[in-house]
Structure 1
Amino acid sequence: MPLRPRDAPPTATLARRIEDAGLNASAPPQQAFVDGWLLRLSPGKAKRSRCINALQRGHLPLDIMLARCRAAFSSAGLPLIVRITPFTQPPDLDAELAARGWRRFDETLVLAKLDLQPQTPQLPPRSRLQPVGPAQYAEVVGQLRGSPPDQIAAHFERLAASRVPYQGHLLLGPRDELLACGQIALEDSLAGLYDIFTPEVQRGRGHARALCQALLQRALEQGSRHAYLQVDEANAPALKLYQGLGFVPAYRYHYRSEEADAH
């Protein structure tokens, strides 16, 4: 998504805060450190909760680090995946993994909305925004995505255990039909938008835009000043939606894995 002339990216300090907030919001109960690398070992769908985040430059040789991490992920029944961000340590880790033949995939944009302003969300006629708890939200969005029961259970477990409170919402129509769903995760003055989803039969009607506006307004009312989200760089409709809401690129990340079928 190219920057328009009037767009200004967030400062490096805010980008770093967004990365930290995203890590906090996606933390599963199953995680451990190995020589400065954060291993997340959740069986859920979200790769953020089942990958390596290389946060610090460790002391061990890379091959030994990878061997230790491989053993941990194998024990958890998960493919070994490394998340590569502008903050990855050591900085040449991406090149080192590429040289070993690790596949690069899932190019992701982190977007930021600076200086939230009050707004009146334009919800569809006779619709309502219904708050729901983590169990119901994980079930709803899991069913929409076709997730198996173990991934739905892992999603609920992560939401319930998160130290960053999630607020799940369903946008319901006049007959209580689901129009869209989404969550906000609030930490200090940052609001993260997560799991924004519109059922296929409801797409193209502006429901996701209305939902996001309502979630941002609720975040503002609770003290948030900035918002962020993560989106697949290939998802053109979502990028158009978020750019229309005033989000701008903050940074990119991707994943690498030595396993051809990792996803």
Structure 2
Amino acid sequence: MLRRQDVGHRVVVRRIVGVSQNRTLYTDALGELVDLTETDLTIATTKGTVRVPLTEVHRAKRVPPARRPPAADVIALELAANDAWPAPTQGRLGSWILRAAGNWTGRANSALAVGDPDRPLEAAVDAVVEWYSAHGQPALINAPMPLAAPVNAALDARGWGARPLTLVQTAAVPALLTAVPKKDLPAVELADDPGDDWYAMVAEHKGALPATAIGILTGPAEVAFAQVRDAGGRLLAVGRGAVTGPDRWLGISLLQTAPTARRQGLAQHVLRALVQWGAQHGSSRAYLQVEERNTGAVALYGRVGFTTHHTYLTREAPAG
């Protein structure tokens, strides 16, 4: 049977689906184990998320991962993403990066567990807890999978919780420009610094934006804020792009559409404009981060060619 240590890994589950002529019927599900509770397990498959009651599980085991990127590529992309979302307070624990930003977003307030923490793993986790305690924040660890599988196993043993699985998806910039259609919509404006209504639309999704949030959003040296307005000047859609890292990765984030303007292709419209901007700034690869449970967004990105490069779990220290 599977254990908490298997969360984030590729598994196969044989599920009991019924009985016919005194014979038990089964179906198999293959994918990444997203969650495991006392009553259910959840698998992210190529066809979507599947939740299986444990009472229906006949057999389940971990299987070898599908083709995985080299560890160096995962680390390089995670470091580029860190530069694109720069926490104002950062520290080092060997190669791990400790980040704090007044609790605005998990990425900017978690320890990035990549590379060697320069001490035994148990001591590294203790040091993370101490650092966040000194900064008046709960301890979080961002654990890319399967690279940080030993970290996740250690945190499981210590009773740490996990936020929903996040997919880090990538696509080639030239392929995106081919795949994302041009649309007859109001022009996308790109600004170096967004206006108040841009921030207000983001706040509807991300919560109130403290000063630390503004610093994160405007922090990268090369960043663009996209916006689409109707003829009356009303904001319809927004997005953000940042080019960082020696590999010139283009990070796409905060693609949002006003509720009254959805299903018009505005998200793809903004995405295309940001990809064009990235190409002009020397980017050949783009990435974005999306929660696996956000099936609508995952489907949208899949249609234009984004595929999962790796995943990560944000782990939470137990209360008290």
* TM-score of the two chains, using structure 2 as the length reference: 0.70
Residue of structure 1 in register with 2:299 after alignment: 240
Q: CA RMSD in A?
A: 2.8
Among all aligned residue pairs of Structure 1 and Structure 2, give the percentage whose two residues are the same amino acid: 23
Closer, same or farther in 2 for the Cα pair 1:76/1:178, shift >3 Å?
Answer: same
**3-state DSSP of counterpart to 1:116:** helix
Residue of structure 1 in register with 2:16 after alignment: none
Residue 133 (structure 2) pairs with residue 74 (structure 1): yes
Q: 1:169 aligns with which of 214, 226, 235?
A: 226
The letter of the residue matching 1:184 is: G
**Is the 8 Å Cα contact of residues 10 and 114 (structure 1) preserved in structure 2?**
no
**Is the 8 Å Cα contact of residues 128 and 173 (structure 1) preserved in structure 2?**
no
Distance 2:83 2:255 in 1: 19
Distance 1:160 1:257 in 2: 27
**Is the 8 Å Cα contact of residues 184 and 215 (structure 1) preserved in structure 2?**
yes
Residue of structure 1 in register with 2:255 after alignment: 196
Closer, same or farther in 2 for the Cα pair 1:87/1:55, shift >3 Å?
Answer: farther
Residue 88 (structure 2) pairs with residue 25 (structure 1): no
**3-state DSSP of counterpart to 2:145:** coil
Residue of structure 1 in register with 2:199 after alignment: 139
Distance 2:174 2:201 in 1: 26
Q: 1:104 aligns with which of 158, 162, 180?
A: 162
Residue of structure 1 in register with 2:109 after alignment: 50
Closer, same or farther in 2 for the Cα pair 1:135/1:176, shift >3 Å?
Answer: closer
Distance 1:149 1:182 in 2: 16
**Is the 8 Å Cα contact of residues 107 and 253 (structure 1) preserved in structure 2?**
yes
Residue of structure 2 in register with 1:215 after alignment: 274
Structure 1: tracts of 5 or more residues without a match? none
Closer, same or farther in 2 for the Cα pair 1:135/1:209, shift >3 Å?
Answer: closer
Distance 1:246 1:10 in 2: 18
For residues 127-163 of structure 1, the C-alpha deviation after alignment (integer angstroms, 9 at most, x for no partner) is 121223445377234433262242xx2111123333x
**3-state DSSP of counterpart to 1:92:** helix
Query: Which 10-residue stretch deviates more, 208-217 or 16-25?
Result: 16-25
Structure 2: tracts of 5 or more residues without a match? 1-43, 48-65
**Is the 8 Å Cα contact of residues 85 and 254 (structure 1) preserved in structure 2?**
yes
Larger radius of gyration: 2
* Cα deviation, residue 82, structure 1: 0.6
Distance 2:235 2:68 in 1: 34
- Is the strand fraction higher in 1 or 2? 2
* Cα deviation, residue 38, structure 1: 1.1
Residue of structure 1 in register with 2:12 after alignment: none
**Is the 8 Å Cα contact of residues 84 and 256 (structure 1) preserved in structure 2?**
yes
